[in-house]
Amino acid sequence: MPGRRSSSDPHPSPDTASDVIRWAVFSCVLVPVVLVWYGTSLAGAAGTTLGLAAVTAVCRLLLRRSERCAGRCTTQRGGRHTRGRTPVD
């Protein structure tokens, strides 16, 4: 079948952290626009924008840090699970 992949083809892993950050940035733009549209003051919308941007920046920092740690821990130990027991998915 032309649509099937062979089992030896590598599957690209999705970059979920980038997707989360992209949606967060989108909300940083959309939320203040909606707030102004519904009558919130510009100062209130600007404060909300700054708050959302701060939360987004911290989340991005934490996501990238956890990715680096996960990559380092996986390569150092040869896998995620070092004990004989593994959880059932």
Confidence class for position 80, pLDDT limits 50, 70, 90: low
pLDDT one-digit tens code per residue, 2-44: 555 555 545 556 677 788 888 888 988 999 999 999 999 999 9
Residue 9: predicted pLDDT: 47
Please, which pLDDT band fits residue 88 given cuts at 50, 70 and 90? low
Q: List CB contacts of 24: < 8 A, sequence separation 6 or more.
A: 52, 55, 56, 59, 60
Q: Is residue 82 pLDDT above 70, yes or no? A: no
CB atoms within 10 A of CB 84: 5
pTM of full prediction above 0.75: no
Of 26, 14, 24, 12, the C-alpha closest to 61 is 24
Mean pLDDT of the chain: 78
